[in-house]
């Protein structure tokens, strides 16, 4: 989501005549887009600001700014106390950036951190580099108020772009050669533009160009409608891949988290999805060490993972966030226990993923070519429709082409292929 937001900021600044440079030495303006979801993000910002400061000593004219979800929280410290930055701009005020940067050039510090009920930036074209895959933000904010989560406070109320502007943006992407579009929102399933819901939106986007692959993130289990499941099942180019965060396998913890579903309801949903979309790939998010989580609660999470057999899972240690309801519950599980639980879950999931991936060995997969692999120039990487990464020997293919690849080997994270 932050990559998409940075592209949006790039779009706003490009409209004012700015261009992007990857060389800090060339920059007149250096901006950090921050994330507040877990605590370790803050530490990284210190490191990055250090770099900017060394450069500012060489070029005192350079404007330094903090953007995004930590803006409000960091403004006092970095702008008002330590004078480390010139501007601080929250996620709903990016339109004011050009004016704030201008002011900063003339020595005046600037701050804009108000949240909006209506801002969707739907008229702004994000500044994207060429490639195969693109993010398209379709809604902003969140009204769910899970008790551990800071998003409703940092990004404000839920609001959706109109279907027409999303379809138009995807049409432009298709014309530019993008082939893989991920529709983004904290809770995409509650997308509503006044006329259309999310099932309408994915169908419309998929209809723009059938050679596009359409994916979306993130789906809250509560709002995963049968209409959406049906759209995935009946539309060839909507990927058979759903990220469906469960967070915990204990009903007691789910209630404390305000996740609004029980394990039983979640499993029924998984059953409905799997029977409607055979071969669908399911991934999840898990939080370990929520306040009051006992060994028994943890065991239930392990059992849920074994029961669902996810294709992948992202596991986080609980990080207390100020202003949330869980903040009041304390941070009762020790760091040691949290880490041990996360390690167990990651180990279990790797074993499951390896087992699932092994079953692909010998099959032929249609993959979308993305480009050179990280490890070797002789190898390319691509993805299956179920979001599995495939590494294969390079021949004549170009990024953006669909090709069949025979899978010859697999580990927990990657499939390895040979050309057919």
CA distances from 341 to 253, 290, 344, 359 (A): 15, 11, 5, 28
Residue 316 partner contact from ligand SAH, ligand SF4, none using kind-dependent CB cut-offs of 5 to 8 Å? ligand SAH
- Told to check if 287 binds ligand SAH by CB under 6 A, we report yes
- The answer to whether 149 and 324 are in contact (CB under 8 A) is yes
DSSP structure string for 192-238: B-SS-BHHHHHHHHHTT-TTSEEEEE---GGG--HHHHHHHHH-TTB
85-144 residues in contact with ligand SAH (CB under 6 A) are: none
Residue 287 partner contact from ligand SF4, ligand SAH, none using kind-dependent CB cut-offs of 5 to 8 Å? ligand SAH
* Binder of ligand SAH out of 10, 152, 245, 400 (CB under 6 A): 245
Which residue's CB is nearer to ligand SAH, number 56 or number 300?
300
DSSP SS3 for 147 = coil
Residue 358 partner contact from ligand SAH, ligand SF4, none using kind-dependent CB cut-offs of 5 to 8 Å? none
At closest approach, how far in Å is the CB of 358 from ligand SF4?
32
With CB under 6 A as the rule, give the number of residues binding ligand SF4.
Answer: 10
- Told to check if 148 binds ligand SAH by CB under 6 A, we report yes
Question: What is the Cα–Cα distance from 251 to 177, expressed in whole angstroms?
Answer: 46
Which residues are CB-neighbours of 47 under 8 A, at least 6 positions away? none
Which residue's CB is nearer to ligand SF4, number 66 or number 217?
217
- Told to check if 95 binds ligand SF4 by CB under 6 A, we report no
Which residues are CB-neighbours of 400 under 8 A, at least 6 positions away? 132, 177, 178, 179, 368, 369
- Told to check if 33 binds ligand SAH by CB under 6 A, we report no
Residue 285 partner contact from ligand SF4, ligand SAH, none using kind-dependent CB cut-offs of 5 to 8 Å? ligand SAH
* Binder of ligand SAH out of 247, 283, 357, 373 (CB under 6 A): 247
Residue 152 partner contact from ligand SF4, ligand SAH, none using kind-dependent CB cut-offs of 5 to 8 Å? ligand SF4
- The answer to whether 387 and 215 are in contact (CB under 8 A) is yes
Phi, psi at residue 118, to the nearest 5°?
-125, -20
Which residue's CB is nearer to ligand SF4, number 95 or number 192?
192
302-321 residues in contact with ligand SAH (CB under 6 A) are: 316, 318-319, 321
Question: What is the Cα–Cα distance from 121 to 323, expressed in whole angstroms?
Answer: 27
What burial letters (b/e) apply to 207-235, b meaning 16+ CB within 10 Å? ebbeebbbbbbbbbbbbbeeebbebbeeb
* Binder of ligand SAH out of 230, 285, 344, 397 (CB under 6 A): 285
- Told to check if 415 binds ligand SAH by CB under 6 A, we report no
- Told to check if 146 binds ligand SF4 by CB under 6 A, we report yes
- Told to check if 406 binds ligand SF4 by CB under 6 A, we report no
Closest CA to 250 of 239, 264, 230, 237: 264
At closest approach, how far in Å is the CB of 310 from ligand SF4?
18
Question: What is the Cα–Cα distance from 339 to 349, expressed in whole angstroms?
Answer: 15
Question: What is the Cα–Cα distance from 8 to 20, expressed in whole angstroms?
Answer: 12
- Told to check if 154 binds ligand SAH by CB under 6 A, we report no
- The answer to whether 219 and 189 are in contact (CB under 8 A) is yes
Closest CA to 62 of 82, 43, 86, 42: 86
- List contacts with ligand SAH (CB under 6 A): 37-38, 148-149, 186-187, 218, 220, 245, 247, 285, 287, 316, 318-319, 321
- List contacts with ligand SF4 (CB under 6 A): 142, 144-146, 149, 151-152, 186-187, 220
């Amino acid at each position: 989501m932050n990559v998409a937001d940075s592209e949006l900021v790039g779009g706003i600044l490009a409209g004012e005549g700015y261009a992007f440079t990857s060389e800090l030495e060339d920059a007149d303006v250096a901006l950090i887009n921050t994330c507040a979801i877990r605590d370790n993000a803050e530490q990284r910002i210190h490191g990055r600001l250090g770099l900017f400061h060394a450069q500012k000593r060489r070029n005192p004219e350079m404007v330094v700014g903090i953007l995004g979800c930590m803006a409000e929280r960091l403004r006092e410290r970095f702008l008002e106390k330590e004078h480390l930055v010139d501007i601080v701009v929250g996620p709903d005020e990016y339109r004011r950036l050009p004016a704030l940067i201008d002011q900063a050039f003339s020595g005046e510090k600037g701050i804009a951190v108000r949240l909006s009920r209506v801002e969707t930036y739907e008229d702004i074209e994000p500044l994207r580099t060429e490639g195969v895959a693109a993010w398209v933000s379709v809604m902003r904010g969140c009204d769910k108020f899970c008790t551990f989560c800071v998003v409703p406070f940092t990004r404000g109320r839920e609001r959706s772009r109109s279907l027409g502007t999303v379809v138009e943006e995807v049409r432009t992407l298709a014309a530019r050669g993008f082939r893989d579009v991920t529709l983004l929102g904290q809770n995409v399933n509650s997308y509503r533009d006044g006329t259309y819901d999310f099932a309408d939106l994915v169908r419309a986007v998929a209809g723009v160009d059938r050679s596009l692959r359409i994916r979306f993130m993130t789906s809250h289990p509560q709002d995963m409608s049968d209409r959406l499941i049906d759209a995935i099942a009946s539309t060839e180019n909507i990927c058979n891949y759903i990220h469906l965060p469960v967070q915990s396998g204990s009903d007691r913890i789910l209630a404390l988290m305000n996740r609004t579903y029980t394990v039983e309801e979640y499993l029924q949903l998984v059953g409905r999805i799997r029977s409607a979309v055979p071969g669908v790939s399911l991934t999840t998010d898990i939080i370990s060490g929520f306040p009051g989580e006992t060994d028994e609660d943890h065991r239930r999470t392990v059992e849920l993972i074994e029961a669902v057999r996810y294709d992948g899972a992202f596991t986080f240690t609980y990080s207390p966030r100020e202003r949330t309801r869980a903040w009041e519950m304390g941070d009762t599980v020790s760091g040691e226990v949290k880490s041990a639980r996360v390690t167990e879950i990651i180990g279990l999931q790797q074993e499951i993923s390896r087992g699932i991936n092994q079953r692909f060995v010998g099959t032929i997969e249609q993959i979308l070519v993305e480009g050179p692999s990280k490890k070797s120039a002789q190898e390319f990487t691509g993805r299956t429709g179920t979001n599995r990464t495939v590494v294969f020997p390079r021949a004549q293919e170009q990024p953006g082409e669909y090709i069949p690849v025979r899978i010859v080997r697999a580990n927990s994270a990657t499939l390895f292929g040979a050309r057919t």
